[in-house]
Structure 1
């Protein structure tokens, strides 16, 4: 039984699809859902910081992340699903490691996450957070794929 469902979310269609699947699991299993959103605070720190207010941009990332989590939590609440949220901060783009570490610390029974299903050059250039999570976690994963544009 899956009593503790971890769902990494962002603002993509794949994330929304994963959230829908987590709702199905949570209702069926009467489970608790933990929504997490990972932000990379280093993405602005390495370039053009003489032209940008890096702390302000990082605060904006945090604020946007909190708003995103609140919107997704409302969807769960409307379904009478017990939910908690967490905004995770990473430095240097290792988003997958942040998800894996949080799943272990929270003792998740399953991860439900979206994937774009990129292949070829697109996959090589963009990488895959889902693939990174799969490589490093001991927690079962349900990957929810949505069609890509290219």
Structure 2
């Protein structure tokens, strides 16, 4: 059913719920979970880093990704699920663009993603990565909504 499950991770409760849902799907289908975190380190021109021979310092986002992946790998082991983790630098792309491209690259059967379920002015001003991904992805997207109570609500 779902051989390759891509789950988008960030440092949020809804992403943790999405990871749990991805692991449950993988256990049912004996699939592989690809846990992905998009890191935006800012825009460093390639010629600048090559000319001065340095790497930008790890950002708070990349440090968070390391912690998130440690937790994901622990969950994979505990659940007996095969999983892989990967951080991808955005390099000027939007998060939905990076996620859609990554889903194509790993030939994901489904993308699982957490959402806050914002409405009204909050959604207008903050935008919705999940909504943008649903609209642009060629793959099925399962949204796991965090309603603030700790209960997950899955929406296909």
Q: TM-score, normalised by structure 2?
A: 0.82
Paired position in structure 2 for 1:55: 56
Shift of 1:72: 1.2
Structure 2 distance, partners of 1:56, 1:41, is 9
Structure 1 consecutive aligned stretches of length 4 or more whose deviation exceeds 4 Å: none
Paired position in structure 2 for 1:13: 13
Structure 2 distance, partners of 1:6, 1:29, is 14
Shift of 1:93: 6.0
Pairing 1:89-108 to 2, within 5 Å after superposition: 89-92=89-92, 94-108=94-108
Paired position in structure 2 for 1:39: 39
Structure 1 distance, partners of 2:42, 2:9, is 19
User: Is the contact between residue 35 and residue 73 of structure 1 (CA under 8 Å) also seen in structure 2?
Assistant: no
Structure 2 distance, partners of 1:57, 1:75, is 25
Shift of 1:124: 1.1
User: Is the contact between residue 38 and residue 88 of structure 1 (CA under 8 Å) also seen in structure 2?
Assistant: yes
Where structure 2 has 5 or more consecutive residues not aligned to the other structure, the ranges are 45-54, 150-156
User: Is the contact between residue 113 and residue 130 of structure 2 (CA under 8 Å) also seen in structure 1?
Assistant: yes
Paired position in structure 2 for 1:134: 134
Residue-by-residue CA offset, 1:11-47 (whole Å, 9 max, x unaligned): 1110111111111111110110000000112289xxx
| Number of positions where the alignment pairs a residue of Structure 1 with one of Structure 2 | 140
User: Is the contact between residue 5 and residue 31 of structure 2 (CA under 8 Å) also seen in structure 1?
Assistant: yes
Structure 2 distance, partners of 1:42, 1:132, is 21
Paired position in structure 1 for 2:51: none
Structure 2 distance, partners of 1:124, 1:42, is 24
RMSD of aligned Cα (Å): 2.2
Residue-by-residue CA offset, 1:51-93 (whole Å, 9 max, x unaligned): xxx93253x4323312211211211111010000110111346
- 3-state SS, counterpart of residue 7 of structure 1: strand
Paired position in structure 1 for 2:2: 2
Q: TM-score, normalised by structure 1?
A: 0.85
Structure 1 distance, partners of 2:27, 2:109, is 15
